[in-house]
Structure 1
C-alpha cells in the first residue's frame, strides 16, 4: 500500500471512529474539496493532508493513532490492486456522510433518553 493510500485510509478511519472531531463546516469543506479534485490518489491524499493540517484535533487524532489500528487498516487494505482515485473519493464522501448521520442519531437518541 502506498503512503498516499495509507493517508486516505487513516483519514477515513478517523472519520468513522471519531466523527465528533468534525464540525458541520468541516464536513461541508471536505465534500467541497473532493468535488474539486481529480481522481488521482496522490492528489487526493495531499489535498486531504493539507486540509487536516489546519485542524489540530483531526491532525492529533491521525498522528496519535495507535499502531494496532494502523496495522488493522493495512490488513483491511491488503488488496492485490491499489485503491483508485474514484474509490478514495467515494470512501471519504461516504465516511463524511455517515459521520454526519451518526452525530444526528446520537443527538436524537440522547434527547429521547431524557424524556
Structure 2
C-alpha cells in the first residue's frame, strides 16, 4: 500500500492542465522531489541521520527488498572528471517496478568518441 497519493497528486498537478498518471507521480528525480514536497532547502540533508526532517524508512512489516531485486546503473546526464559517473552507480531501482523511469542507454552521436563502457569522452 502507498500512502500520500492524493497529496503527491496535488503537488505534481499544481499548474498543469492535465492529470498525471499514478505511475508517473514520482517517476524520475525531479518528479519524486515535487511529489514529496522537496525543494532547494532540502539539498544536502543526510537522510539517515537521526532527527533529519527527511528520512528513508521501509513501511512497517515490509523489510528490506531482496538484494537480487535491486538494480543499479549510471545516472543519465551525470558525468565527471576521472570517469566518476562510470565508477559509481548513481541510479538504483527495484526490478519490475513500473513507477521507475526506464533506463535507456544513450545512443552515440555520430563522430563522438566513446569509452569502453559506452559513455562519451571529451573531444581531443
Task: Give the TM bin, normalised by the shorter chain.
Answer: under 0.3
Which entry has the higher C-alpha Rg, 1 or 2?
2
Q: Which has the higher contact order (CA 8 A, sep 6+)?
A: 1
The structure with the greater share of residues assigned to helix is 1
